[in-house]
Structure 1
Amino acid sequence: MDHHQYDIAIIGLGNAGSQVLLAMLEHQGFKDHKILVLDDFQGESLDKTWSFWEKGTGKWDHLISYAWDFGSFKTDDLKLDFDLTPYRYKQLKSRDVIAFAKAKLIDHPNCTLVENRVANVIENTETATITTEAGSFEAKLVLDSRIPSAFFQDTQSIKLQQHFLGWVIKTEKEIFDPSRFLMMDYRLRDPGTTSFTYILPYSATEALVEFTYFSSEIVSNQTYEKYLKTYLSDYLNIESYEIISTEQGNIPMTTYRFEQHNTRLVHKIGTAGGWVKPSTGYSFKRTEKFVGILIDNYLKSKPLDAGMFLKKFRFYDDIMLDVLKHHNDRGHLLFQNLYKNNPIKRILSFLDEETVLAEELKIMLPLTSWPFIKGFFKKLF
């Protein structure tokens, strides 16, 4: 059994694990660190798409699959087209990001890859012991992307799920505008739920079409498929199409405080660390920001999550989740008011947690329906 000691062990080479590893390999502060990465690559992480917005060019542009300069938002009462400038909406294939990180890892003399599932992590006095079928490993710090079991047992936090089924379809006729993606279309909804259609067009005849819920309970595959078929036939007037591939996911949207599981030797990252934006389910660009904070904190010997979670934005997220939890049938109205009363640049900046109070008031005040006010005071007191 290998008991070699590493400075840092990263469990999971998904979104968070890949970004942490690449950032460390690019930073001079880690040039002498011995890094261990453990992943059995048996999950669904290789078959996901990661979408995000950012201003101008970014560090991932060499891996980008598609990008859009324009977007749309629709309800029965509102049709909004917007220019994203100075932002662009971009899509990555998880397989490409992970392959890029894996290649960098294999080529680095101070890195070791163990393609095995982690069975257990035990904290000792100075190191943590990581047990796998390939042996045991010691690390001074473990960055762990496995969701703690306590999360699934918790009954106090609000727990919504962004769950969806998407089809990449190919049509005979030119249907889509490849320069414009559809953020949310609430014209077709599952009654009593916050549910919508999301479209990423790849060409005039090819697109990813997803039916998505923000809700407490998941639905059957037959339900997703029913709404996808209805949307394609009744809203896009598509008579014939081929399903090229499918994508299905479930992202937690929760008030649960994942950082409570961080210890001196084991730190949770990614979804397991609460890095998913609770009110939207977006995580890729947020992870990039949190990775920068984590690395800076590590090199300065500060708590690794210091400065990650800003209280006022966590407060806003908690309110939004409270409203969606208790008034799920009104979610489309909440988002309609958000998009109707704010330019897209302000909305994206707010979701990136980069706005000032004056901007935040402009975001929040139009949402002041009775459910929203009730949620506000519930969280305030």
Structure 2
Amino acid sequence: MKTAQHVYDVVFSGFGASSCILINELHKKNELRNKRILIIEPSEKKTNDKTFCFWAKPSDDIIEDYKEIITHSWSKVMINQKKKREINPLKYHHISCEGLYNKTRKILKQYDVTMSREKVAQIEEKNLVLITTSKTTYEAHMVFDSRPPKIKMPLSEKQNIWQSFTGYKVKLKDAVLDENTCTLMDFNVNQDGGTQFVYILPYSNSEALFELTRFGKEKINTEAAQRDLKNYIHRNYGSFNIAEVERGVIPMFMDMPKCQQSKRIIPIGTRAHMVKPSTGYAFKNMYKHAQTLSAQVGQSILKQKSSSRFKFYDRLLIYILAVWPQMGKPIFNRLFSSQSLSYILRFLDENSSLKDDMGMFSKLQIGTFLKAVLYLFIEKSKPQLILFAPLMLYGLLHFILPEYAELSIYALIAIGLFLVGIPHGAMDHKTGLFSDNKKINLSFIFKYLSVMSMAYLVWLISPTVALVTFIIYSAWHFGETDIQEWKINSRFVGFLWGLLMFSALFFSHVSELNVILKTLNVQALPSELPWLGLFIWSLIVSFILARLHRSLPWVLLTCFLALSYWMPLVMSFAIYFVFHHSWSGWKHLRTSFKESNWSLFKTALPFNLGAFVLFVVLFLNSGMGWDYNIAQIFIFISCISLPHILSMSYFYKKLKTKRV
């Protein structure tokens, strides 16, 4: 039973920059008075382990709020050791994290605050919010969660790279620095297969922070970076002594996992995607987010929405830096030579106009950017292109070679079954449900066959019950796979979508469905019911759900179901199963197991050969009749599907438990 000592009004998970900035804002709004506050932070937070920089006008609120801890400001900026450029009315400001921590601690002394040196293991919402640490469990009315999001599956290297750096705080022998001018980027260093530059913040005419920064799929090589940075400083500024060494890594991730936000659990900082992926700048974003949150205390807190236009720009740049890293240096050089600094800083603040942005892109390496747009479209649309390609091919052949249309598509489906359809279901031992060591052994085979036998027993007792049960657990499985792909966190929604998918397919092909039902000894559906209307309603509800969840892939899949009205039932379902469902499941397994397509395919090869033998036995032995053979294949598929669906449901559940 929880004691009153363990119940708090507000809990901050972490005492980093985002928590400190939010505490400052809540203090300004007088929202911390008469509150029991708990801050859970595993480290002491007394060292100057980070620095923060931002640009602002003297009249901006952020300057007024943090002027006492701004350690230095620069009115001029230099790129590539070239002409110094004024950025009036802006200045580039520096804040040390030590100053931010101390400022915040001073504020907290005015309130009822408990500091706990622990690490948060889990946060979950019940009647109140439960915060579990290694030592105890706390309850809170509201939690601000700044833990970095857990990445449950490997991210694409084409959209998720690193900003890594090695820095020296140095004392130069000669006073050669202009303490009013900082260098944002100097690319006159070895690029080492990525995009590398030196960043310089002078604190006096002989003291400065020099950082060698890298944008790339690989993090900076520390030994090479130290050598290159020392050579750079000595070559351009003469002899020096190193006072401090800095190292750091910032994720430039476009696919950072989305963390759930509720009325009581609010993500902040990196967890709320406040770090701009293409630059790593975060302080101003965290400040604006804190202003928004503090203004909404006591209300339904809205999610911070970023501009889709600027997210697209970030995605383009990161793709180029990842795939064509040699283009980084020329792109940045041309950007700074062709645009004013005032526009560039406005662009980085996401305050520029579309017209100005188009003018900027026209002066850059436009061919590279257009190529990136095309590649991104293909990669993002790959699932839909794979799904619609057989449909479009069928339509084309239906007009030019109608006698070969169906045969060609079924041949394509057979190839797809061999490459991904059957293999995606041959990884059940690797999910761990029926095999503790994730290997195929006698125990796994016994458990798997036992579940199949239970399903087959139902077919012997009542084909109707067996068929309805098969449709229900298949709807669950297809829906579960799709919501995993679409990042929708509701199994009920997935199950509902699975039922709608089957409804749309069946209601639009009742006559063909009845033929199949006859072979299975199941009563046919009455022809007088308004099946076309039910088909249309299935599509309408699917479109509504897709719109509510803002899922374009869902919309397109519903469009596929609408177009399947003009295709045979078996063909429509087979295309969905092979080119959508199996492809998605295969991708989830491959990324989770961190194996290549070929490695997984080799694992599945025995199952492929077994399926091929079964197919040959049933279809070359026509003594029992084609209807009987088709019925037996259908029953076999339904029986083998049950342990597969249980395995995949266990697999997806394990994936979800990694989302803390």
Question: Could you state the TM-score of these two structures normalised by the residue count of structure 1?
Answer: 0.90
* Corresponding position: 1:107 with 2:113: no
The structure whose RCO (Cα within 8 Å, separation 6+) is larger is 1
| Cα separation, 2, equivalents of 1:152 and 1:296 | 35
- Between 265-274 and 318-327, report the one with greater CA deviation: 265-274
Q: Distance in 1 between matches of 2:374 and 2:46?
A: 40
- Residue 53 of structure 1: CA displacement? 0.9
For the structure 1 residues 378 and 8, does the alpha-carbon distance in structure 2 shift closer, same or farther, using more than 3 Å as the test? farther
Show the counterpart of 1:254: 253
Q: 1:98 aligns with which of 67, 84, 101?
A: 101
User: Are 1:7 and 2:6 an aligned pair?
Assistant: no
> 1:151 and 1:195 mapped to 2: Cα distance?
29
Deviations 1:8-52 (A, max 9, x none): 211111110100111111113554443322113247974211111
Aligned to 1:87: 90
1:74 matched residue in structure 2: 80
Alignment of 1:39-50 (within 5 A): 39-42=41-44, 46-50=48-52
Change (3 A) 1:301 1:263: closer
- Match of residue 370, structure 2, among 364, 369, 373: 373
Q: Spell out structure 1 runs of 4+ moving beyond 6 A.
A: none
Q: Residues 283 and 343 (structure 1 numbering): CA distance in 2 closer, same or farther, change over 3 Å?
A: same
CA offsets, 1:91-146, max 9 Å, x none?
A: 1110110111122113213xx23231224224242222113355321112221111
1:245 paired residue number: 244
Q: Conserved in 2, the CA contact under 8 Å of 1:276 and 1:282?
A: yes
2:244 alignment partner AA:
S
Which of 304, 310, 315 is the matching residue for 1:313?
A: 310
Alignment of 1:49-60 (within 5 A): 49-57=51-59, 58=63, 59-60=65-66
**Alignment CA distance shift 1:329-1:56 (3 Å):** same
Partners of 1:105 and 1:113 within 8 A in 2: no
The change in CA–CA distance for 1:299 and 1:122 in structure 2 (over 3 A counts) is closer
Give the equivalent residue in structure 2 for 1:149: 150
1:355–1:33 distance in 2 versus 1, CA, 3 Å:
farther
Secondary structure at the aligned position of 1:121 is classed as strand
Q: Give the secondary structure class of the aligned counterpart of 2:164.
A: strand
Question: 1: distance between equivalents of 2:226 and 2:122?
Answer: 40
In structure 1, C-alpha distance between the alignment counterparts of 2:71 and 2:236, rounded to whole Å: 26
CA contact (8 A) 2:44 2:117 kept: no
The 3-state SS of whatever aligns with 2:196 is strand
Distance 1:44 1:187 in 2: 36
User: Take 1:215 and 1:294, find their aligned partners in 2: how far apart are those partners?
Assistant: 33
Which one-letter code corresponds to 1:56 in the other structure? P
Partner letter of residue 101 of structure 2?
A: I
Contact kept? 1:70, 1:181, Cα under 8 Å: yes
The equivalent of 1:294 in structure 2 is 293
Structure 1 CA distance, aligned partners of 2:262 and 2:331? 38
User: Where does 1:257-276 land on structure 2 (aligned, <5 Å)?
Assistant: 257-276=256-275
User: Paired residue for 1:354, among 346, 351, 354?
Assistant: 351
Residue 103 of structure 2 aligns to a residue whose secondary structure is helix
Distance across 2 between alignment mates of 1:349 and 1:124: 39
Give the superposition deviation at 1:244: 0.8
1:18 counterpart letter in structure 2: C
Gap regions ≥5 residues in structure 1: none
Q: Which moved more, 1:90-99 or 1:117-126?
A: 117-126
Q: Quick check: 1:279–1:321 contact (8 Å CA) kept in 2?
A: yes
Say whether the 8 Å CA contact 1:168–1:246 is kept in structure 2: yes
Residue aligning to 1:330:
327
Answer whether contact 1:191 1:329 (CA < 8 A) is retained: no
Distance in structure 2 (CA, Å) of the matches to 1:197 and 1:124: 45
How much has 1:270 moved relative to structure 2? 0.9
CA–CA separation in structure 2 for the residues paired with 1:91 and 1:339: 22
Q: Check the 8 A contact 1:69/1:87 in 2, yes or no.
A: yes
Q: Is the 8 A contact 2:160 2:252 kept in 1?
A: yes
Distance 2:330 2:167 in 1: 24
SS in 1 for 2:117: coil
Within the alignment, does 1:339 sit opposite 2:336 as a pair? yes
Tell me the CA shift for residue 196 of structure 1. Answer: 0.5
Contact 1:46-1:98 at 8 Å conserved across structures? no
| Gaps in structure 2 of 5+ consecutive residues | 382-660
Distance 2:54 2:153 in 1: 27
Structure 2 distance, partners of 1:68, 1:316, is: 28
Point out the more displaced range, 129-138 or 212-221: 129-138
1:282 corresponds to which letter in structure 2? Y
Aligned counterpart, 1:206: 207
Count of residue pairs brought into register by the alignment? 372
The residue type equivalent to 2:107 in the other structure is K
SS at match of 1:165: strand
Sequence identity (%): 26
User: Taking structure 1 as reference, are residues 359 and 158 closer, same or farther at Cα in structure 2, changes over 3 Å only?
Assistant: same
Instruction: Report the secondary structure of 1:223's partner residue.
Output: helix
- Letter paired with 1:224: A
Give the match's secondary structure for 1:149: coil
Which position in structure 2 is the counterpart of 1:285?
284
1:180 equivalent in structure 2: 181
Measure how far apart 1:259 and its partner are.
3.0
Matched ranges for 1:117-196 at <5 A:
117-133=118-134, 135-150=136-151, 153-155=154-156, 158-196=159-197
**Change in 2 beyond 3 A, CA 1:341/1:202:** same
- Is 1:166–1:211's contact at 8 Å kept on the other side of the alignment? yes
Alpha-carbon separation, structure 2, partners of 1:11 and 1:90 = 28
Give the 3-state SS of the residue equivalent to 1:107 in structure 2.
coil
DSSP-derived class of the 1:277 partner: coil
- SS of the residue 1:176 aligns to: coil
Amino acid at match of 1:331: G
Rg (Cα) greater in structure: 2
Kindly tell me: are residues 151 and 330 of structure 1, through their superposed partners in 2, closer, same or farther at Cα, counting changes over 3 Å? farther
Is 1:275–1:286's contact at 8 Å kept on the other side of the alignment? yes
Whether the 8 Å contact between 1:130 and 1:137 is mirrored in structure 2 is yes
Question: Are the equivalent residues in 1 in contact too, given 2:259–2:267 (CA < 8 A)?
Answer: no
Kindly indicate whether the alpha-carbon contact (under 8 Å) linking 1:145 and 1:270 is maintained by their aligned counterparts in 2: yes
More displaced, 212-221 or 195-204?
212-221
Please tell me whether the aligned partners of residues 170 and 242 of structure 2 are also in contact (alpha carbons under 8 angstroms): yes
Shift of 1:151: 5.7
In structure 2, give the amino acid aligned to 1:376: V
Contact 1:9 1:36 in 2 (8 A): yes
**Which has the larger displacement, 195-204 or 265-274?**
265-274
> What letter is aligned with 2:106?
A
How many angstroms apart in 1 are the aligned matches of 2:157 and 2:299?
Answer: 35
